Amino acid sequence: MMKVLRSVPVLLLLILCVANMAFSCVGKSIEIGTTGSVQQEVLANIIAELIGERTGTTVKVVSFKSSTEAHAALLKADIDMYVEYTGVGQTVILQAQPLADAAELYKAVKERYNQELNLIWLKPFGFDAAQSLGVTLPAEAAPVVRKDTLKKFPALARLINKLGGKIDQQTISSLEKEASNGQSKQVAHGFLKNNRLI
Amino acid sequence: MRPLLSLLALLLLASCVSLQISEVSDLVISDQQVWQGEVRINGVVRVTRKGSLTLLPGTRLVFSKFDRDGDGIGDAELFVEGEFVARGTADRPILLTSGAANPQPGDWKFLYLDYARKAEIEYLISEYAYSGIQVHFCRAQIRSSEFRYNVDGVRFSTANISLKESYLHHNRHGIRYEERGGRGVVQRNRISDNQIGIFAVTRGAGRTLFELNDIIDNEPYQVKMGQQQAAALDFPRNWWGNVSGLSAETVFDQRRDWSLGRVTATDPLDRPINATRPTEGD
């Protein structure tokens, strides 16, 4: 029980006001989308752990059923980023013709996403996503981030780009295998620790 | 006339004492209030710039666990822009805790001092919060207190903080700070068994003095620099758990990322300070 005491000599004034005030949150938080596969879960958690560990920012991983859903959420600012594949970006999102050369494909989607959607493709992780996904469409996987998120967190691009080229074919296969039991967060943490990134 | 006034005063006093509140929702305090006993907080308590809240020894603030914004962090909090005085005693510490049956770090948000006019804290325990305490843009004196089982034990930014003789343990970050031109003194504390003992997030320039502390058994890192901490930082005259001082393996700095500054720990102590554990148990 609480007793409220007042030192004011004569009048006792107790003011209890109900106010639906939402004060500033704990800090700025970031939400990362995934599209359900083990590979997506691992990559999203690698980014989440890296950001959380290096900046102290709260990061939440949110699941979607497809790239299309995640992309829609990204456009609406429901999330800040997700990992996309250049081939999907080119043919599904942008409805453009496939390109055979991986570097040209990356350059093409990066440019159009930036100009038309205000979204930024960061550096690809380094593995051949087409091969890893067992599809024929030439593709790389890379984080796609809202431009306003990068403005809010100026150090974010440089931080996430530390992952650029760090995950080759063998590494992603190994990480997926490790994470197949649902331990994506722990696997991601271990990867970052082993690579001295956290 | 005089007996009548005395009787009236007595009645008034009696009525004050009998006004008992055990539970509050969202509450704005713009006057001077003194609390004691146990209060369950089911919302946001805000002490405005004009307001003052004093917690007497033995006061227990129990924050309900609820998550309005769905960010996974509890939203009950105590937010102070005015005066906050919480002076417990060794025998009767003030407790800020979670109301959950199975309490976890982050059940409630924080005790947050933002441009507070006055902040004096002694013998206070803060546990199971996102941040046991956050101090921003103001002075705060914290002594003989305990911050445990939080995400951040003590967190401050752009503040003039004095943190002494306190015990910070079993948090994710014992101390998390962004100096940003502020000054601080962190002395004679025990900072142990956190995942990160001291997390220097950014903009540290050595204006916060960490000395004469026992900083031990924080794993994986005793000291960690955040992504934008480019300047070197020294943590002189502390006990790091062994006579050889701060081990490089327990530091995240330039040796792991060239863009960061370097952590040094000059003149390490060769024995513990035995910084007090002021409020163990509750």
Q: Mean per-residue pLDDT for A111-140?
A: 88
- The partner residue sitting opposite B19, judged by closest CB among A10, A14, A158, is A14
Q: Per the CB < 8 Å rule, is A2 touching B22?
A: yes
The pLDDT score that the predictor gives to residue B20 is 53
What region, left, alpha or beta, does residue B227 occupy, with left being phi > 0 and alpha being psi -120 to 50 degrees?
A: alpha
CA A94 to chain B, closest CA, distance in angstroms equals 32
The pLDDT score that the predictor gives to residue B69 is 81
Strands B152-157, B129-136: parallel, antiparallel or unpaired by DSSP?
parallel
Specify the amino acid at residue A185. Answer: K
CA A105 to chain B, closest CA, distance in angstroms equals 31
pLDDT above 90 (res B276): no
CA distance B132 to B81: 17
Q: Is B252 helix (H, G, I), strand (E, B) or coil?
A: strand
- The partner residue sitting opposite B72, judged by closest CB among A12, A13, A60, is A60
Tell me which H or E stretch contains A186.
helix A184-194
Instruction: Please give the span between the terminal C-alpha atoms of chain B, in angstroms, as a whole number.
Output: 48
Name the residue with tokens 């990480």: A175
Residue A25 pLDDT grade (very low, low, confident, very high; cuts 50, 70, 90) = very low
Residue A36 pLDDT grade (very low, low, confident, very high; cuts 50, 70, 90) = confident
Average pLDDT across chain B, whole number: 91
CA distance A80 to A30: 6
pLDDT above 70 (res B275): no
Give me the residues paired with residue B162 across strands: B141, B185
Burial class (CB in 10 A: 0-12, 13-18, 19+), B245: middle
| CB-based contact, A100 to chain B, within 8 Å | no
Average pLDDT across chain A, whole number: 86
The pLDDT score that the predictor gives to residue A23 is 29
pLDDT above 90 (res A5): no
Strands B146-148, B221-228: parallel, antiparallel or unpaired by DSSP?
unpaired
Residue B277 pLDDT grade (very low, low, confident, very high; cuts 50, 70, 90) = low
Q: Mean per-residue pLDDT for A104-132?
A: 94
Residue B14 pLDDT grade (very low, low, confident, very high; cuts 50, 70, 90) = very low
pLDDT above 80 (res A28): no
Sign of CA dihedral B237, B224, B173, B135: positive
The pLDDT score that the predictor gives to residue B10 is 44
pLDDT above 80 (res A92): yes
Burial class (CB in 10 A: 0-12, 13-18, 19+), B100: middle
Q: Per the CB < 8 Å rule, is A2 touching B201?
A: no
ipTM of this predicted structure = 0.75
The more confident residue out of B1 and B178 is B178
The pLDDT score that the predictor gives to residue B70 is 80
CA distance B153 to B110: 10
Distances (CA, A) of A157 to A114, A142, A151, B160, B178: 14, 12, 10, 32, 20
- The set of residues, in sequence order, having a beta carbon less than 8 Å from that of B143 and lying 6+ positions away, is B121, B122, B162, B163, B164, B165, B166
Give me the residues paired with residue B53 across strands: B33, B84
Tell me which H or E stretch contains B130.
strand B129-136
B118: which 2 tokens? 């006055």
Q: Per the CB < 8 Å rule, is A6 touching B34?
A: yes
Q: Per the CB < 8 Å rule, is B109 touching A2?
A: no
B182: which 2 tokens? 């502020």
CA distance B208 to A90: 51
Q: Mean per-residue pLDDT for B226-255?
A: 96
Could you state, in order of their start, the residue ranges of all structural domains in chain A?
29-194
pLDDT above 70 (res B2): no
Could you state, in order of their start, the residue ranges of all structural domains in chain B?
22-170, 172-273
pLDDT above 60 (res A122): yes
CA distance B51 to B31: 5
CA dihedral A123, A129, A131, A134 (to 10 degrees): 180
- The set of residues, in sequence order, having a beta carbon less than 8 Å from that of A17 and lying 6+ positions away, is B26, B27, B28
Residue A11 pLDDT grade (very low, low, confident, very high; cuts 50, 70, 90) = very low
The pLDDT score that the predictor gives to residue A197 is 94
Assign domain A29-194 to a CATH class: alpha beta
B95: which 2 tokens? 């407790």
Name the residue with tokens 């005395």: B6
Residue of B nearest to A19 (CA): B26
The pLDDT score that the predictor gives to residue A29 is 85
Q: Mean per-residue pLDDT for A14-38?
A: 58
Q: Mean per-residue pLDDT for A17-29?
A: 40
CA distance B179 to A130: 46
The more confident residue out of A153 and B59 is B59
Answer whether B222's CB lies under 8 Å from B252's CB: no
pLDDT above 80 (res B4): no
Residue A135 pLDDT grade (very low, low, confident, very high; cuts 50, 70, 90) = low
The pLDDT score that the predictor gives to residue B71 is 80
Among the residue ranges A78-92, A148-162, B13-27, the one predicted with the least confidence is B13-27
CB-CB neighbors (< 8 A) of B31 in chain A: 13, 15
